[in-house]
Amino acid sequence: MRRLPCLLLLLVACMAGSAAAAPLQSARQTAVPPTRLGIEMLARCPLVVVGRTISVRDAGLGSSLLHVRVLERMVGSTVHADDDVSVFSVSQEFQFGDEDLLFLRPYRSAGRYEVVERVSSRDPHYAAKLSYARRNVWLMEIRDTEERIDATLTMLLSLLQSADEWTSTQALDELRWMANEVPDCFTPGRTQRLRAAGRICLRKEIAAGVENVATLLTSRADRAASSRDKGQSRP
């Protein structure tokens, strides 16, 4: 019976490891970049468009049924520019003529979609957010997982140097998220690249944030190596 607590601890550790690996596994299976946008949005949304709302109808209970004309299709093989799609939204904030970046997934009936995420053109950072979404979508063209991870890191490190405050902050936020959710992406070589990029950042707060991320990754790798050494040294 004394072994039962040990077995329970082992089970909890295995479950925690599986949960930590889930985001990276999702990125590998769906060929999305291992960013938060990639894993939480692009992996879930088979249709991503820039669209203009051409009609809005009350669907009851505070929801709306929209007809959206596609201005630019980013993701999705069955929809093209100038197509009209029916979109269900739990929000009534949409208005005729709105232009938005929409992350969509299929709704109940065939041919309809529901809004997972909306970025309005009235957002003061709309241009930067649109550009960032496009960059993530382009990374989906890279089929090899390791090449896609390298390209993602290259993208984020370049965006750290952006003069646009939202863009550089977003890049840092993504790196923090990756360090916590998909740390296996960071080999020692990639962590060195991260640290080197941080040293040349012009904004001190960005440089400090990058160094914190690199330190977190290094300390985590050291603890993992120490645990492996202890396990191998046991009889």
- Flag whether pLDDT at 169 surpasses 60: yes
| Surface-to-core class of residue 132, CB atoms within 10 Å of its CB (0-12 exposed, 13-18 middle, 19+ buried) | buried
- pLDDT of 127 reads 97
- pLDDT of 235 reads 57
Strand runs labelled E in 45-147:
47-60, 63-75, 84-89, 99-106, 112-120
Q: Please give the structure tokens belonging to residue 184.
A: 């296996």
Interatomic CA distance for residues 183 and 108, integer angstroms: 36
- Flag whether pLDDT at 4 surpasses 80: no
**Mean per-residue pLDDT for 199-224?**
91
- pLDDT of 16 reads 46
- Flag whether pLDDT at 201 surpasses 60: yes
- Flag whether pLDDT at 18 surpasses 70: no
Q: Residues 139-164: pLDDT tens digits? A: 999 999 999 999 999 999 999 999 99
The pLDDT confidence band at residue 230, using thresholds 50, 70 and 90, is low
Share of the chain above pLDDT 70, in %: 82
Indicate the average pLDDT of the chain.
87
- Flag whether pLDDT at 3 surpasses 60: no
- Flag whether pLDDT at 49 surpasses 70: yes
What pairing do the DSSP bridges indicate for beta strands 84-89 and 112-120?
Answer: parallel
DSSP 162: -
- pLDDT of 220 reads 86
Q: Residues 86-139: pLDDT tens digits? A: 999 988 789 999 999 999 999 987 789 999 999 999 999 999 999 999 999 999
Listed residue (162, 104, 105, 109) closest to 131, CA to CA: 162
